[in-house]
Amino acid sequence: MSFGQPQMLLFGLVALLPLVLHLIGRRKARAVSFSALAFLLAHDRRRARALVLEQRLLVALRMAIAGLVALALARPMLPDWSADAGLALGQGPVAVAIVLDDSLSMASRLGDQNRMFAAKKRARSLIAGLPAGSLALVVTSSRPARAMQPRLSADLRSVAADVDRHAVSSRPDDAASALRIARRLLADAPLKNRQIVVISDLQKGGWQILRRPPTAVSRVVVPVGTPVDDTEIVDVSVEPATDRGAQFVQVRVQLRRRGKTPWQGQVTLHLGDREVRQRVTVPAGEVMAHSFVVPAVADRAEVTLEHEGSQSFDGQPGNDRRHVLVGGGSTLRVLVVNGSPRPVPRDDETFFLVQGLAAGRQRADELRIDVTQSYSQQPWDVLVLANVAELSGAHVGEIRQRVAAGAGVLLTTGDAVAQAPSPWLHHLWPLPISNPSAACDVRLGSSRLGAQQPKTQALQRELGLTVLPAMRHGRVRRRLLLKPHSQLRSSTLVNYDDGVPAWVSVPYKKGKIALWTTSIDRDWSDLPMQTGWLAFVRQLIWTTAGRKATLGRRVVDSGAPVLLERKATDRELILLRGERRQRTIDITDQPPGLWRVKGLEQPGLWTLRVRSDKGSREAFVIVRPPATESVAQLDKAPDRSAASDGSGEAATPMMPAWSLALAALFGLLLAEALLLRRTSQ
């Protein structure tokens, strides 16, 4: 039994009052000799004993009545053994869409089984207990969310079999899309009773949408698993160790401990035939960084965690191993033109941009950053024109030609652009400008503005989950305003909280031209001082680079496509994970000049071996686990929920029992009335 208002049980102390009054009254009663009564009592001792019993029973009834009043006020809950899987789906046939969480966090273990095992068990139990004539389907929530059946099915055995065959994926949650698919499929159901059932561990990074009230179709949340302690490798980056020499690199590892206990163990770096260990302690709830300075004797490295002691339990072993590229990948060339150089580094126009890009490199040769005070005709993949007041027409024409061939340009504003006419800006930027310097007091808002392309939607989703929440406290004091245009809405990636565009990216033939409508220093905003700035400027540059960045990227998220340059003599591409061949891809249905690889799901190091008429070559790609995945769970979901115990499986469902307590109270009052009547007679 459990209670909705357990504090009301304190009123149960009132039940002692009848007993106290009875004892006090009996102690103060004075015995008076009365010969006739003594004669009657001596004549019928059995009747005397009955009177004493009736008095004691009356006291007990009054105590029970007071106790039941307190019990009813506490709203008791009793196990509902008749309910299937703890879900009250109504009477008669029902149309049910089960949203099954199959993201990486469901692999977290508690005991001998993981959360996915418990979720599948609940789903099978629910499907088996549906009334005759019911319809069901299953929607998986890992990105991209998808329905396992094309429509609601009356073949419940087939639906349950699909659940049995499904396994945990390595992708993050896409809860919003999963719920949207479930609502759309339920809209065509011929039954009036429609329900969405969410079976999930309610991982924080993916299920924030459950804090919003349900729309149209009601939903029931079935939590599986309980919060567990976990230590994860958040990020691994490589940068040159310039103080040790050109042949040395610094490998920086970030660790996070989730839970209530600290973690003790060893962080091990495997680089070629070298193995370097460090013993570390990460306090509960903290993020700590550890660095290794080693010779760059190999082009890839591996970082692993080894746990020590019973207090270092780890509920998600999948995030205890990370690979990182030390070299061997394509280099993205970034040319930064500083339009407002200053002697103090922290006041310089490009200081925070350059520092953010350098700190966010995932390998030593990933980015090459050149900073100049005027545009020069050197090679570049991304050009950043930071608060540039003047640019010749010849240079503008050359920049447009490079963008048309696949490069990217990022324009940022500031005082120099606002004070000068800057006619080059109107020639290079394709959308009309309203005001180059408008005063304001705003913050960054949402990144969901209805973009139509899937790639843009995915970018906006990633920004909204990981980057923008860390920059919401930054204030913007001045900004550039754009005139209304038919292309503006679809090209806006981030806006301010008043709806004005902040980051706009317009495609131009094979490349992109992007505009950041405020400065990248502290003159017009304090955004560079926010914790999310490093991740934001990296996303800003890599998104502007477009195809140039995709071809050079060797670290991708789980499920993201990989693009490699394909030569005319190439014949096939072999995918290997470790030493095991996964599959072979031929040139059929491949884009011109490219190898496009889809479906690299498992995190880790992949080898892409290209066979051609002139031999073979290899490239290494690292598939990293989702950055938003962890075992942290929502504190509370607002929907109707089935309770969960601490075993990783859902507990027995509960039903309200206060009505039973009131019925028992009524019965006790009736019994007291009958006893008083008998006593009076």
pLDDT per residue as tens digits for the range 217-262: 666 777 776 666 778 888 888 877 878 877 788 888 988 887 778 8
pLDDT of residue 298: 82
Torsions phi, psi of 370, nearest 5? -115, 130
Contact between residue 198 and residue 166 where contact means Cβ atoms under 8 Å apart: no
Predicted pLDDT of residue 452: 45
Rounded-to-10 torsion of CA 236, 239, 244, 248: 80
* Under 8 Å between Cβ of 556 and 624: yes
Cα–Cα nearest to 104, from 116, 112, 113, 118: 116
In this predicted structure, what is the pLDDT of residue 274?
Answer: 86
Instruction: Tell me the backbone φ, ψ of residue 144, rounded to 5 degrees.
Output: -85, 140
Do residues 570 and 584 lie in contact, with contact meaning Cβ atoms separated by under 8 Å? no
Q: How far is it, in rounded angstroms, from Cα 178 to Cα 665?
A: 47
Q: State in Å, rounded, how far the first CA of the chain is from the last one.
A: 41
Q: Considering the chain, what is the average pLDDT of its residues?
A: 79
Model confidence at 386, in pLDDT bands (50, 70, 90)?
A: very high
Asked if the model's pLDDT at residue 190 lies above 70, the reply is yes
Q: From the CB of residue 216, how many other CB atoms can be counted at a distance below 10 Å?
A: 9
DSSP per residue, 67-78: HHHHHHHT-EEE
Question: Which helix H or strand E contains 594, and what residues bound it?
Answer: strand 594-597
Is residue 359 helix, strand or coil?
Answer: helix
CA dist 394 and 398 (Å) reads 6
φ, ψ (nearest 5 deg) of residue 680: -65, -30
pLDDT at 206: 65
Partners of 200 in the β-ladder: 223
Q: What is the 3-state secondary structure (H, E, C) of 371-431?
A: EECCCCCCCCCEEEEECCCCCCHHHHHHHHHHHHCCCEEEEECCHHHHHCCCHHHHHHCCC
- Asked if pLDDT for residue 645 goes beyond 50, the answer is no
d(CA 292, CA 326): 13
The 8-class DSSP code of residue 107 comes to G
Residue pLDDT, tens place only, 457-485: 556 555 665 577 778 788 999 999 999 98
The amino acid sitting at 99 is V
Residue 328: pLDDT over 80: no
For residues 418 and 342, the answer to whether their CB atoms sit within 8 Å is no
Give pLDDT, residue 643.
Answer: 41
Q: How far is CA 299 from CA 270, 367, 597, in A?
A: 11, 16, 22
What is the largest distance, in Å, between two alpha-carbon atoms of the chain?
A: 132
- Can you list the positions of beta strands (E) in 49-193? 76-79, 95-100, 109-110, 113-114, 135-140, 146-147
Q: Among candidates 203, 513, 496, which has minimal Cα distance to 504? A: 513
- 579 backbone φψ class: left, alpha, beta (φ>0; ψ -120 to 50): alpha
Which residue type, as a one-letter code, is found at position 644? S
Residues 6+ apart with CB under 8 A from 619: 328, 329, 554, 564, 607, 608, 610
Asked whether 546 and 474 are in contact (CB, 8 A), the reply is no
- Residues 511 and 496: their CA atoms lie apart, in Å, by 25
pLDDT band at residue 110 under the 50/70/90 scheme? low
Q: Copy the structure tokens of residue 493.
A: 């990636």
- On the CB side of 414, CA atoms within 13 Å amount to 22
Quickly state the pLDDT bin for 128 (edges 50, 70, 90): confident
Closest CA to 603 of 146, 170, 84, 72: 170
Nearest to 630, CA basis, from 173, 280, 198, 262: 173
Burial (0-12, 13-18, 19+ Cβ within 10 Å), 580: exposed
Show the beta-strand stretches assigned E in 296-359.
300-307, 321-325, 332-338
pLDDT, tens only, 563-618? 888 888 888 999 988 778 888 888 888 887 888 888 787 888 888 889 988 888 88
Strands 274-282 and 263-271: antiparallel
